[in-house]
Amino acid sequence: MNLCFIFCLISTSLVFTFVSAGSNVTYDSRSLIIDGQRKLLISAAIHYPRSVPAMWPGLVQTAKQGGVDVIETYVFWNGHELSPGNYYFGGRFDLVKFAKIVHEARMYLILRIGPFVAAEWNYGGVPVWLHYIPGTVFRTYNQPFMYHMEKFTAYIVNLMKQEKLFASQGGPIILSQIENEYGFYENYYKEDGKKYALWAAKMAVSQNTSVPWIMCQQWDAPDPVIDTCNSFYCDQFTPTSPNRPKIWTENWPGWFKTFGGRDPHRPVEDVAFSVARFFQKGGSVHNYYMYHGGTNFGRTAGGPFITTSYDYDAPIDEYGLPRLPKWGHLKELHKAIKLCEHLLLHGKSVNTSLGPSVEASVYTDSTGACAAFISNSDDKNDKTVEFRNASYHLPAWSVSILPDCKNVVFNTAKVSSPTNKVAMVPEKLQQSDKSQKTFKWDVLKENPGIWGEADFVKNGFVDHINTTKDTTDYLWHTTSILIGKNDEFLKKGSEPVLVIESKGHALHAFVNQKYQGTAYGNGSHSPFTFKNPISLKAGKNEIALLSLTVGLQTAGPFYEFVGAGVTSVKINGLNNKTIDLSSNAWTYKIGVQGEHQRLHLVDGLNNTKWTSTSEAPKGQALTWYKAIVDAPPGDEPVGLDMLYMGKGLAWLNGEEIGRYWPRLSEFKKEDCVEECDYRGKFNPDKCVTGCGEPTQRWYHVPRSWFKPSGNVLVFFEEKGGDPTKITFARRKVV
């Protein structure tokens, strides 16, 4: 997931756009030091491929207006190295353009090269092709993995050098990452893992960037590597070396969602409490993960079952709008902390207990200047305390900031920022051809099962991921069974039961071309069982199974070896017997036909025969829909309302909107809250909403993807829905 990481100070210097020379970057026990000046830094995670280039300037400026100094992003290996040595840096993956936009905004940049990132991103950001290079084991002291990891890391470092983006060259990059939260997993890899972690650190240093390194959750980080923290709370974190600054690499202001899961929210009072406590306890670099979560466009969502939305309940929402009061309250917090910056970084500190759960941290210098943080960590009771001959009221679970040790300029529990309410205002699809009196759809129905020539035939089952290599979500399995016309169950009119077992992630079942139902798993390995009565006829009966992946594993020890797919197929109640089809000859086909015909692209194969209709079929599985539409009016962000569809993929003008699946949350009503109590330590199940509702109803379609008219909107519906109820929605502050 968004887990912690190993940073490196890629450059020994930094400068903004208005300075022509580079600046030296070092550190001591208090902070990073830039050109001889200690710096207190507030950073915001914004992942460039989870938005689009047209959004980047606005996102960066909104973060800056929120009191942020630094933008942080991962580098997504599998988005850049599409096959060995085949690199891509266009569109949403234009890393150089993103870095230059940060530079133009006169902000710093943290570049988390990884190149393993986790981050709820498909396969943790590692290219799937790497798993199929013989002998490769991810994130271990393994020569094939280390070779390709070092090669990609060097490529990114050299690209940044060529574009003069490191601080020493006058660019914005002050920090960079190698690996990602390895300390969580090295015990699984044992001594091999320790060797790999040490190698990774040495490899990064060898990139000729003259850098100190930072490694998150690497409790035995070797010198000169600095260990850092990521969590909901890092105030008690202490670096293993007294000569290293206290850095919080990930503070989670919300959490991600999964299809069928809950909708978690972290109250801003608690986020502010955690940040204020971190700086109260001597922290100097703080990063929000995420500040803008964005969207997992296309098939980039990991999982299984990570939603297309990666909103994260972040200060800037998925569509690029400030989330109030969260954004505004944190902006005021940042102002208050900055008022204390000099004393936090240069003053002497004294911590004093003012009573149970109440603590004052006082920073002073030789001039007599004074700043104080007074915290009440009681999660139930307000407190009134005496501090320097004055009385102060402290709400439960709050921190008061006093830049002069007298006047409270900010309390984390007192929210004065306005609250905005955001609505998704529906807009009917408007077709571009105004000569048509009724809305026209182009429709193409696929037949269940094998299309064209089979890819292969095999007795028994194959692993889904090893077969598709993640080139598609889809893998067809077909077999047949002969039924005699005198079989007993036909005479009785009884229906046998099709029973399918799978280790993930989902499947759609068809018998004799008829859709029988869908099943899917839960949890990291997603095992599930499909059971459904089926009708069989005398003679040959075809059973066709469309196995699905819904995002690959993103992290964990040896996660690349976690498989998926069908493991058993039986028919119960066939003449009072169970027939096991598992060892049958199964015919396989990778992908669905429309993918191969490029129906989702504007330049799809010209010989594809769409059927035009004013009455689009409803409830029909394996169906492609296409409409030519106008852009929604106005300039607000746009979502696509897919509430009445089943499951599938969507595109606009060939751009991948992503997987849609209005799957209902399986959490019970009593698991949700109407109002969240911010007091006390947070966890992702504390403040959940959306129980019994679709986990994701609206799907972000960036405005920059639209033309005024003639927009090609394409859907592939797997199980059946009602396309006539699809609408756009403008995200509007009301």
Is a pLDDT exceeding 50 seen at residue 15?
no
> pTM above the 0.85 mark?
yes
Residue 413: both structure tokens together: 């529990």
Q: What is the C-alpha R_g of the chain?
A: 28
Partners of 699 in the β-ladder? 640
Question: Residue 56 phi/psi, 5° resolution?
Answer: -60, -50
Given this model, what pLDDT does residue 478 score? 98
Whether omega for the bond prior to residue 290 falls within 30 degrees of 0, making it cis, is yes
Is a pLDDT exceeding 60 seen at residue 212?
no
Topology agreement, domain 6-323 and domain 456-591: no
The residue among 320 and 23 whose pLDDT is bigger is 320
**pLDDT, tens digit, for every residue of 430-449?**
999 999 889 999 999 999 99
Average pLDDT over residues 365-392: 97
Q: Give CA–CA dist 295/55, Å, rounded.
A: 12
Residue 643: both structure tokens together: 């509430």
Q: CB-based contacts of 410: which residues, under 8 Å, 6+ apart?
A: 276, 332, 333, 335, 336, 400, 401
* 250 noted as active-site residue: yes
Q: 422-445+597-661+696-733, which class in CATH?
A: mainly beta
Sign of CA dihedral 250, 251, 253, 254: positive
Given this model, what pLDDT does residue 24 score? 86
DSSP letters for 460-511: S---HHHHHTTS-SEEEEEEEEEE-TT-HHHHHT---EEEEEESSSEEEEEE
Is a pLDDT exceeding 50 seen at residue 7?
no
The DSSP call for residue 282 is: T
Is a pLDDT exceeding 80 seen at residue 673?
yes
Average pLDDT over residues 319-342: 98
**pLDDT, tens digit, for every residue of 626-672?**
999 999 999 999 999 999 999 999 999 999 999 999 999 998 888 89
What is each CA distance from 675 to 9, 13, 527, in whole angstroms?
Answer: 42, 47, 35
Given this model, what pLDDT does residue 605 score? 62
Active-site residue among 72, 120, 150, 181? Answer: 181
For 106, other C-beta atoms within 10 Å of its C-beta total: 14
* Architecture of the CATH domain 456-591: Sandwich (2.60)
Is a pLDDT exceeding 80 seen at residue 183?
no
Average pLDDT over residues 368-382: 98
Q: Please say whether the beta carbons of 227 and 216 come within 8 A.
A: yes
Q: Give CA–CA dist 20/163, Å, rounded.
A: 15
pLDDT confidence bin for 2, thresholds 50/70/90: very low
Question: Residue 461 phi/psi, 5° resolution?
Answer: -110, 155
Active-site residue among 81, 150, 179, 250? Answer: 250
Given this model, what pLDDT does residue 13 score? 30
Partners of 70 in the β-ladder? 43, 108
* Architecture of the CATH domain 6-323: Alpha-Beta Barrel (3.20)
> Which sequence spans correspond to the domains of the chain?
6-323, 349-411, 422-445+597-661+696-733, 456-591
DSSP letters for 679-697: -S---TTSSEE-TTSBS--
pLDDT confidence bin for 216, thresholds 50/70/90: confident
The length of the chain in residues reads: 734
Three-state secondary structure call for residue 336: helix
Residue with token string 């029988």: 516
Residue with token string 């000046």: 37
Average pLDDT over residues 130-142: 96
Whether omega for the bond prior to residue 505 falls within 30 degrees of 0, making it cis, is yes
**pLDDT, tens digit, for every residue of 555-602?**
999 999 999 999 999 999 988 899 999 999 999 999 999 999 999 988
